[in-house]
Amino acid sequence: MAASSINTDRSRAPAARTADGGAPLRVLVAHNRYQVRGGEDAAVGRDLGALERAGCAVEAVFLDNDAIDSAPARLRAAFSATHAPDGISRVMAAARRFRPDVVHVHNFFPLLSPGIHAAARAAGHATVQTLHNYRLACANGFLMRDGAPCERCVTGSPYRAVLHACYRGSRIGSLAVARMIDHHRRAGTWRRDVDRFVALTPFARERFAAAGVPVERIRIRPNGLPDPGPPPGGPRDGLLFVGRLSPEKGVLVLAEAAAAAGLRITAIGEGPLTGALAGHPGLALVGARGPAEVQAAMGRAAAVVVPSLWYEGLPMVVAEAYAAGTPVVASRIGALAGLVADGATGLLAAPGDAGDLARALARVAADPAGAAAMGRAARTVYEREWREDVTTRALLEIYRDAVAARAADASLARTGS
């Protein structure tokens, strides 16, 4: 299948030392971008800039899904995803020219494939895989089916996805993706070819370990977020939702909860439920907004609401809210249950329970002083865990760890030990 690819050389003369005090690193980043740009694409872009600012020489190879513009094209891409030789050859051509210390893979589906790691290691490069989604164990990448979490393929056969048509509602497509998952699981790709994995949260690390990823190679490192500056002073007012208006985001439950609590929540975003939610008494739909407007809205809100029904990877809306000094009301599910400290940086409610969510929303609305205190605590968490300089140092440490592991493996291979 012909697929567009953009090789973007972002290399520059590295600093004498990097931000963590170590020798400069050469990093080749490989990422299969999405047709509709989303959170993963934005996270990769932020990392590229942060690595350059930290003193690394960086090159990025992007593969784009723009040519996958029909159902037959999607099926062809899915069936080629087990090996994807064209994508791998593009990345390795860049590696031969750039000579990286580390090949860092983000999204590998469908134009790159997990096979990129074997190719990179054979060429002597350390390899790192960021686990943005659950694609290495789940055909749809979300660990979700029929509007609820599903982990049947985590420890069981990935071919269960075929029965439920988990990939885009297609059994044939699901078979293709399940084949990719099964092949690399049986081949030992994740145990043999990847030096270090990056999980975004402790919850994600547990799920990937259950799926067979060697837990001793998984490091936790959240996506970084540049500091927007000190949160604005003054009183806060109103509750805010920012995200896609789709079922898994819990917006229908949110609308019901807001109406039950006698509140009207501002909702920034668009999605398939926009029409169904138009005119709902619990939501004020304002459509999509730019980053500056979103940041300003968060700085005015008493709290941001994240009522998701699925295992979010690392919703950056939480990091953005914390950076703005704004607490978060979230579902007690997956990573969210660990990202929000109940009663400290926000409140948690049972996922899908409109009554429980309504009680949490009413509590925040009725206690501005308490919400402000939680917001200050949230800002402290952001500065400690999500600020760009913190996450960049963590990423550099992972790279150096991967390089050391690769060197140790090469030494063992030479000595035959």
Determine the average pLDDT of the residues in 74-91: 85
CA dist list (Å): 387 to 130, 226, 382, 394? 18, 6, 6, 11
Q: Is 126 helix (H, G, I), strand (E, B) or coil?
A: strand
Determine the average pLDDT of the residues in 55-74: 84
pLDDT band for 39, please (50, 70, 90 cuts): confident
Which two structure tokens, joined as six digits, stand for 215? 């837990």
- Tell the burial category of 169 from Cβ atoms under 10 Å away from its Cβ (0-12, 13-18, 19+): exposed
CA proximity to 67, closest of 5, 112, 115: 5
Characterise 350 by phi-psi region: left (phi > 0), alpha (psi -120 to 50), beta (else).
beta
User: pLDDT by residue (tens digit) across 120-151?
Assistant: 999 999 999 999 999 999 999 999 998 889 99
Looking at the predicted structure, is the pLDDT value of residue 11 above 70? no
Cβ atoms of 302 and 364 within 8 Å: the answer is yes
Domains annotated on the chain, with CATH: 26-132+188-224+389-416 (3.40.50.2000), 237-382 (3.40.50.2000)
Mean pLDDT of the chain: 92
pLDDT at 214: 97
Q: Output 47-50 pairs: Cβ under 8 A, ≥24 positions apart.
A: 47/223, 47/224, 47/392, 47/395, 48/10, 50/224, 50/388, 50/391, 50/392, 50/395
Looking at the predicted structure, is the pLDDT value of residue 180 above 90? yes
The span from the CA of 262 to the CA of 209, in Å, is: 43
21 Cβ neighbours under 8 A, 6+ residues apart: none
pLDDT at 414: 74
pLDDT at 15: 59
Q: How many CB atoms lie within 10 A of CB 26?
A: 17
pLDDT at 7: 42
pLDDT band for 67, please (50, 70, 90 cuts): low
pLDDT band for 415, please (50, 70, 90 cuts): confident
pLDDT band for 52, please (50, 70, 90 cuts): very high
The span from the CA of 319 to the CA of 321, in Å, is: 5
Task: For the chain, give the percent of residues with pLDDT over 70.
Answer: 94
Q: Output 89-97 pairs: Cβ under 8 A, ≥24 positions apart.
A: 90/5, 90/7, 90/61, 90/63, 91/28, 91/30, 91/61, 91/116, 91/119, 91/120, 92/119, 92/120, 92/123, 94/7, 94/28, 94/59, 94/61, 95/28, 95/120, 95/123, 95/125, 96/123
The span from the CA of 278 to the CA of 270, in Å, is: 11
The span from the CA of 63 to the CA of 270, in Å, is: 26
User: pLDDT by residue (tens digit) across 378-407?
Assistant: 999 999 999 999 999 999 999 999 999 999
Q: What pTM value is reported for the model?
A: 0.90
DSSP 8-state class, residue 246:
S
pLDDT at 353: 97
Which two structure tokens, joined as six digits, stand for 207? 């799920």
pLDDT at 416: 67
In the numeric block, the tokens 């009207």 are attached to: 264
